[in-house]
A and B are shown apart, each in its own frame.
Chain A
């Protein structure tokens, strides 16, 4: 290339740079479009977030705040996105942090303290480990679900305890999710840690593996494709899912049914809590606080069961009939301190991978 061509290169590059600047300057960004008159708040959450339109519309009507919902994969993914972008967050509030990742969320300078007035209506146990940075919103029990019809058809008794799952009679019946890619999968791993202890759970999983446990990547795959009660030709009658799944099976039945064909092994449950919080560098912190208030308010809490199939944390919130009639609430679910989970989670998952998959 002749030496004199340097100048045209420079000219061209400068011209292009100017063009890019002009385009990006002319581009309306979310922030710039927000005038005080139309207040918005952006909620970063997981893919399963859902709320009834009229409930959300009532919030907007009352407060003048429009909610934008940004779904960013599963709960772990959404949280990591928040952490990676914490200097200039993509949202104002986050919802969907669960017990498994509570430690990561409160330990990373990510959130700002907020205590909604309605927190007094929430049992104190649910606020453990939140350091005032996160507000509990809902509770979900991750349990093993049973396809009752399958056991009836095969004239067999369904197992009721974790220990029973390693017996030869229950060989090749259980499907679980990989804890490194699935929230319920991780919750079930925590169940076994809580049940068999820091030194005992490895042995249990070795036995489960020897007894033909099937591992898949995600909940959808486990429930719909592998679980015989999922309605799509699965063959295994036991699956790691939720205590609310029996109710969901009734709600989504087509044609409608009266009672659920799915049961729950209530002694295999891990109690998970989902939290919401205000992001530290939020553009609209006041609006984010109103949003957290709203999520603890009666209308949102009452809406939770049929939207996300989780239980409200607010005491005295009425449950839909389909829940009271079909879903068993475990009386004594397993649980682990947030700090212990945070210290060991990644090691447990790696160890589990070595035991069960390799």
Chain B
């Protein structure tokens, strides 16, 4: 009986995330692509060919690819040492730094764009690359760091004792251990830069266009659905191909390793070299992440003609006519409850997915869940509007659609943060538990949950932060009476006058503070309770 129920449970657990993605992503995508490529029921792939024959569209494809590759390379080169410092070194204020570097990832691009411009950065390729680094640094630090903080340093110690130099130890012991995380982080970063929208619009200027901005332009301005659908198909195929390649590489790279409790593994930097290394990396973070964030904080505290809290007081009063149906402060509450629901969904569904993914060596489940990251928010947003409008899926216009969409965006991160950890659990630990008489449920609870629970809490905090900052899908689906903070920031920024701009920066700082609190709390919880096993 237990085997049978075990299998049913396994299949159910696998089906939950797949069905979730099929309903909220697959079906809307098919609906909108169908409008474009098969308007009268007959599939016509002609427009897809146009993407490669039209020279200006070919230029768009090429620019999309190379700027994403370059951005990813830069982010990995700077992010991996940063991940090491934050995962393996213990120093005062580390949790706060870890939390703060995550802030950019969730900030609305409109706000960041104005911060970058305030720092004197002109719109240029350099500004795009820097912004991509700014936004994705946290992905590398989080995803690589998560794995790194679980690697048992005794393996490295052993290699050193056996006479390996520092470089050889890194190459033969550490690098294989973090490689799945590096690949995952590289893949996510590439996906984000490949589908970059806000950054390109704000910092690229009108001459630089990616597939994503072109889809937006074709859909919203020209209503050229066939071409928009063709561009979406090209983007989707490219993303799927990338995920397959990364999956292959990851599968080759992943080996069960000894996992330790994260807190025990971090050591204070003792040698002068270690201190210098830490100092250099912290300086990079301060310049890269600190400077633009500081500009925003300073601006929010300096309303026209002085220093003060006027911008923050305005959040409680300003309703900007009826631009906002509620005072900006109410949006804080909306953001928190919507993000909480989204997080619960993302962690539940993502936990199932990670568990299912870790049972096989195939990366199929992770790949499918990562697909939504590779598709234009405009495409999915319009798709949801036309596909989820009738029973049994009459979700449009309900309060549920926004948290569901945000969970969809956060889902791949939950899986990518948890699955590598679950996979890295030595199966012999489970075997040992089973041999000692534990039934499957108990093995799962005492081994998998104990180890992955920690990763899942961290992933939950990250999912919460992503939901807080989510703008693309939310702006499409949000109900007028429940705007979230990024929507408020955006609405305020589009209002004339320095008062609205000041309030926008204040709302942005509140958003930043919420993210920092969520990330610090996530780290604390993670290390405090479930940590020991």
Which A residues contact B (CB, under 8 angstroms)?
A: 5, 8-9, 11-13, 15-17, 20-21, 23-25, 27-31, 47-53, 56, 68-74, 76-77, 80-81, 83-85, 88, 90, 104, 178, 180-181, 215-217, 220-221, 223-225, 231-232, 248, 251-252, 254-255, 307, 309, 346, 349, 354, 357-358
Contacts and interface: CB of A to CB of B under 8 A. Distances in A.
B11 A5 contact: yes
Contacts, number: 151
A88 B392 contact: no
A24 B395 contact: yes
B61 to A, nearest CB: 15
Contacts of B262: none
B481 to A, nearest CB: 7
B206 A181 contact: yes
Contacts of B475: 73
Interface in B347-397: 382, 385-386, 389-397
B437 interface: no
Given A30-B397, A85-B386, A231 B15 contact: no
B496 A25 contact: no
B323 A50 contact: yes
Interface stretch (B129-137, B215-223, B245-253, B416-424): B215-223
Given A51-B321, A225-B117, 15 more contacts: A5-B7, A29-B394, A30-B397, A50-B323, A53-B319, A69-B480, A73-B475, A80-B219, A252-B497, A252-B499, A255-B304, A307-B321, A346-B224, A349-B222, A357-B206
Contact of B499 (A81, A223, A254): A254
A20 B23 contact: yes
Given A81-B382, A180-B217, A248-B496, A346 B11 contact: no
Given A90-B385, A254-B304, A50 B217 contact: no
A217 B205 contact: yes
A7 B400 CA distance: 32
Contact of A73 (B220, B320, B398, B496): B220
A307 B499 CA distance: 15
Interface in B121-144: none
Contacts of A225: 114, 117
Interface string B193-228: 000000001100111000000000101111110000
A27 B396 CA distance: 10
Given A50-B320, A71-B480, A217 B393 contact: no
Given A13-B15, A20-B392, A24-B393, A252 B496 contact: yes
The 6 tightest CB contacts between A and B, nearest first, are A252-B497, A30-B397, A50-B321, A178-B206, A12-B12, A77-B220
B304 A69 contact: no
Contacts of A354: 56
B408 to A, nearest CB: 14
A24 B394 contact: yes
6 contacts: A13-B15, A24-B392, A48-B494, A53-B319, A69-B322, A354-B56
Contacts of B323: 49-50
Contacts of B206: 178, 180-181, 215-217, 357
A68 B221 contact: no
A308 to B, nearest CB: 9
A224 B498 CA distance: 10
B322 A56 contact: yes
B19 A16 contact: yes
A84 B481 CA distance: 23
A72 B474 CA distance: 11
B452 to A, nearest CB: 22
A228 to B, nearest CB: 15
B493 A27 contact: no
B432 interface: no
A19 to B, nearest CB: 9
Contact of A21 (B217, B392, B481): B392
B16 interface: yes
- With most chain B CB atoms within 10 A of its CB, the pick from A16, A69, A71 is A71
B398 A13 contact: no
A121 to B, nearest CB: 24
A231 B322 contact: no
Interface in B321-339: 321-323, 325
Contacts of B257: none
Contacts of A74: 220
Contacts of B4: 8
A241 to B, nearest CB: 10
A104 B224 CA distance: 12
A104 B499 CA distance: 37
Nearest to A249: B496
A216 B395 contact: no
Contacts of A77: 220
A80 B223 contact: yes
A197 to B, nearest CB: 24
B35 interface: yes
B205 A9 contact: no
A84 B15 contact: no
Contacts of A17: 19
B430 interface: no
Interface in B82-127: 114, 117
B19 to A, nearest CB: 5
A180 B304 CA distance: 34
B392 A104 contact: no
B491 interface: yes
B389 A85 contact: yes
Given A21-B392, A25-B392, A248-B496, A68 B19 contact: no
A44 B130 CA distance: 37
Contacts of B493: 220
B223 A215 contact: no
B305 interface: yes
- With most chain B CB atoms within 10 A of its CB, the pick from A25, A80, A216 is A80
A357 B209 CA distance: 11
B205 A215 contact: yes
B8 interface: yes
Contacts of A80: 219-220, 223
Nearest to A104: B223
Given A27-B398, A29-B397, A50-B321, A8 B392 contact: no
B404 to A, nearest CB: 10
Contact of B497 (A72, A73, A254): A254
B321 A24 contact: no
A71 B36 CA distance: 24
A77 B114 CA distance: 23
A90 B397 contact: yes
Interface string B465-500: 000000000011001110000000001011011110
Contact of B8 (A12, A49, A217): A12
Nearest to A86: B386
A354 B55 CA distance: 12
B196 to A, nearest CB: 14
A293 B325 CA distance: 22
- With most chain B CB atoms within 10 A of its CB, the pick from A16, A70, A346 is A16
B305 A255 contact: yes
- With most chain B CB atoms within 10 A of its CB, the pick from A29, A69, A357 is A29
A84 B385 contact: yes
Given A9-B11, A48-B494, A76 B398 contact: no
